[in-house]
Amino acid sequence: MIYVIGKGRIGTALSLAEPSLKLIGRDYDLGDLRELASEDLIFVCTRNDSLQSILDAIPSSSHKNVVLVQNGMLSPFIDGLENPIAGRAILYFAVSKKGEMPKPGGNTLVCGTKAEAIAEFFKSVNIPVEIVSKEELAKVEMEKLLWNSVMGLMGEVYSEKVDQSLERWGEVEEVISELLPVIKEDAGIAFDQERLLNSLKNYSKEVSHFEARIKEWEWRNQWFFDAIKRTGRSAEKWFALHKKTSFADRLI
């Protein structure tokens, strides 16, 4: 059985793609998710800030069935969990609004003890998927964090969709170029800059209709500000653009 917690854009999209799964909303007692079969999976499709309370509500014996699909710097949170989970998926599909089907923008990547079962579910709903190692996932997590944070920033500043941000790609590259040395020094992750920029640009083209905005601040853009502070690196363009947004008061 596949359970999906969260009736937002992602959870609803998965339920539309696979009507037989059980879509769970706020009125469901998560304490009932006990004595699950080993092949059962619980996809948590909520905001990052709700993750701890949801895991607290799910019986600890079922944490081994949990799959997290959130964007953002999630690895420290997962590494700090008392009970191991089934795995994590980094989604490479877009859902512009609730009620739409997923629009793939590349291979969704999965990792964890139940990676094969997670991958089989995504294949069953026609979402391209690839199983990767924890080390590979960490690098992809950072790449997706860059995309969400930078493209969200562009959308926030200029009130535009991704296709319009593509027209000012030189500015996008300038911001990313400032952040790459920060990532290398703070997280120990080095990218081939040309390959990375091509990858991010190609993904942007696949989800060009999407309205990227700054979201989940503490899990996305805040990570870069913290890393800049830890490394003492300069990121003038990054700071300047944020000062044009409603998040300016959060800058360090």
pLDDT digits (tens, 9 = 90+) for 74-97: 999 999 999 999 999 999 988 888
pLDDT tens readout for residues 196-245: 999 999 999 988 999 999 999 999 999 999 999 999 999 999 999 999 99
How does strand 108-111 pair with strand 87-90? antiparallel
Give the angle subtended at the CA of 35 by the CAs of 30 and 39, to the nearest 5°. Answer: 100
- pLDDT band at residue 64 under the 50/70/90 scheme: very high
pLDDT tens readout for residues 154-186: 999 999 999 999 999 999 999 999 999 999 999
Mean of all residue pLDDT scores within the chain: 94
Fold of 135-250: N-(1-d-carboxylethyl)-l-norvaline Dehydrogenase; domain 2 (1.10.1040)
45 pLDDT higher than 90: yes
Q: What pLDDT is recorded for position 44? A: 96
149 pLDDT higher than 70: yes
- pLDDT band at residue 252 under the 50/70/90 scheme: low
Is 99 within 8 Å of 73 (Cβ atoms)? no
Q: What pLDDT is recorded for position 143? A: 95
Q: What pLDDT is recorded for position 96? A: 81
Q: Do domains 2-132 and 135-250 have the same CATH topology?
A: no
Q: How many CB atoms lie within 10 A of CB 49?
A: 11
53 pLDDT higher than 80: yes
Give residue limits of the domains in the chain. Answer: 2-132, 135-250
130-149: average pLDDT:
95
Contacts with 88 (C-beta within 8 Å, 6 or more apart), sequence order? 67, 68, 69, 74, 78, 110, 111, 112, 137
8 pLDDT higher than 90: yes
Lowest mean pLDDT across 10-19, 59-68, 89-98: 89-98
From the list 185, 176, 178, the residue with the least C-alpha distance to 235 is 178
DSSP track, the chain: -EEEE--SHHHHHHHHH-TTSEEE-TTS-GGG--S--TT-EEEE-S-GGGHHHHHHHS-GGGGGGEEE---SS-HHHHHT-SS--SEEEE--EE--STTPPPEE-S-EEEESTTHHHHHHHHHHTT--EEE--HHHHHHHHHHHHHHHHHHHHHHHHHT--HHHHHTTHHHHHHHHHHHHHHHHHHH-----HHHHHHHHHHHHHHTTT------SGGGTHHHHHHHHHHHT---HHHHHHHTTSTTGGG--
From CA 66, how far away is CA 92, in angstroms rounded?
A: 19
User: What are the distances in angstroms from CA 98 to CA 9, 60, 101, 252?
Assistant: 4, 30, 9, 34
Q: What pLDDT is recorded for position 61? A: 92
pTM of the model: 0.88
CATH superfamily of this structure's domain 2-132? NAD(P)-binding Rossmann-like Domain (3.40.50.720)
From CA 110, how far away is CA 37, in angstroms rounded?
A: 20
22 pLDDT higher than 90: yes
